[in-house]
């Protein structure tokens, strides 16, 4: 038997046929063209699903269900996407609409939750009951897995880890709050911190690496400069790790998951980032007497997290 996993993004719709072990057997994608009415986007999604099933020469009867990971705020129970900034969807019943094409169950959840489920079922936190995925990208996203299930609060609006306040009255966040974790520890925040430090320190290698064109700075730049022993880069990373560790410590003190999985673009730095992060967390976190600490590891699922996690929604409901 098979599952269909759909990663519905603002840029592309990706879909895959996934086996019961969480392995993608075949996948394909098409552009979302998010300015369109949801009717046409869901119609395309149905065509894509039909195409990947036909490609593998399997019948719809062999498919246990379709799982969809979407940006925004879904109502998991009803299969309605309440709202999504990236898609201009408002109160769209994806389940109902997609069920017009296929007579199999349709499950919907948030993309970050789905990615956390992928790591939990077949990725970095496999075989662990309780884990938290923290993605360091433009913002900070997250998914909480408790007792092997997605946990996102009674209204499915929780696990907004990026909007945890780590600095009372700190930097203004676009969400309306001040001092949010993602204003200090997202990949975008690291880029801002890198640019600011480079400008203050004209002799820093960071400037040379981007030829003084600060639009060229990305989250990797500071790590490249650090490898070449640039003092400014070292300071930026040290300060960034302080911010990152604060949010991680809070997750530990509140939830104490067995694993924290670090993903997103910046997560690709892997052990470069995790070795010093673990050190700070272990030295700083309030932990009780003789307690086994949370393990901090890199995400494994990469770009397949969306498809596999969405497919796992079907598995968890069977």
Which residues of this protein are in contact with a copy of itself, per CB under 8 A?
Answer: 72-73, 82-83, 90, 128-130, 144, 146-147, 151-161, 163-170, 173, 175-177, 180, 184, 242-243, 246, 249-258, 284-292
Q: How far is CA 19 from the centre of its chain?
A: 22
CA distance 157 to 251: 17
Closer CB to a copy of itself, 101 or 256, in the complex:
256
Distance CA 277, CA 85 (A): 32
- The residue (of 156 and 207) whose beta carbon lies closer to a copy of itself is 156
Q: How far is the CB of 193 from a copy of itself (least distance, A)?
A: 13
Q: Which is nearer to a copy of itself, 52 or 281 (CB)?
A: 281
- Smallest distance, a copy of itself to C-beta of residue 266, A: 19
Q: Are strands 89-93 and 80-84 parallel, antiparallel or unpaired?
A: antiparallel
CB-wise, 80 or 314, nearer to a copy of itself? 80
Q: How far is the CB of 255 from a copy of itself (least distance, A)?
A: 5
CB of 156 to a copy of itself, least distance (A): 8
* CB closer to a copy of itself out of 175 and 275: 175
Edge-to-edge strands, sheet with 295-298 = 149-151, 140-146, 131-136, 259-263, 295-298
Two tokens at 201? 């320190």
CB 229 → a copy of itself: shortest distance, Å?
27
CA nearest to 251, candidates 153, 167, 143: 143
E-strand spans in 206-271? 259-263
SS (H, E, C) 131-143: EEEEEECCCEEEE
Pairwise CA distance, residues 152 & 129, whole Å: 15
* 150 or 206: CB nearest a copy of itself: 150
């Amino acid at each position: 038997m098979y599952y269909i996993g759909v990663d519905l993004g603002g840029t592309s719709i990706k879909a895959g046929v996934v086996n019961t072990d969480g392995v993608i057997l075949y996948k394909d994608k098409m552009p979302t063209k998010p300015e369109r009415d949801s009717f046409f986007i869901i119609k395309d999604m149905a065509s894509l699903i039909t195409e990947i099933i036909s490609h593998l020469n399997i019948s719809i009867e062999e498919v246990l269900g379709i799982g969809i990971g979407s940006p925004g705020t879904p109502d998991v129970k009803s299969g309605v996407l309440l709202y999504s900034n990236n898609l201009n969807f408002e109160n769209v019943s994806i389940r109902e609409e997609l069920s017009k094409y296929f007579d199999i169950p349709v499950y919907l959840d948030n993309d970050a939750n789905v990615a956390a489920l992928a790591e939990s079922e077949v990725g970095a936190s496999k075989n662990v009951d309780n884990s938290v995925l923290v993605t360091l990208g433009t913002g900070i996203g997250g998914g909480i897995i408790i007792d092997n299930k997605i946990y996102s609060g009674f209204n499915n609006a929780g696990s907004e880890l990026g909007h945890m306040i780590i600095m009372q009255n700190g930097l203004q966040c676009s969400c309306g709050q001040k001092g949010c974790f993602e204003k200090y520890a997202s990949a975008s925040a690291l880029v801002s911190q890198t640019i600011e430090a480079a400008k203050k320190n004209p002799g820093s290698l960071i400037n040379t690496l981007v030829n003084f064109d600060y639009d060229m700075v990305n989250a990797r730049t500071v790590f490249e400069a650090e490898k070449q022993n640039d003092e400014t880069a070292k300071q930026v990373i040290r300060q960034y790790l302080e911010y990152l560790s604060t949010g991680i410590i809070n997750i530990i003190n509140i939830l104490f998951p067995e694993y924290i999985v670090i993903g997103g673009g910046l997560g690709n730095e892997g052990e470069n980032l995790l070795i010093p992060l673990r050190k700070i967390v272990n030295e700083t976190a309030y932990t009780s007497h003789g307690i086994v600490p949370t393990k901090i590891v890199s995400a494994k699922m990469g770009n397949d997290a969306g498809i596999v996690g969405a497919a796992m929604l079907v598995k968890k409901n069977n």
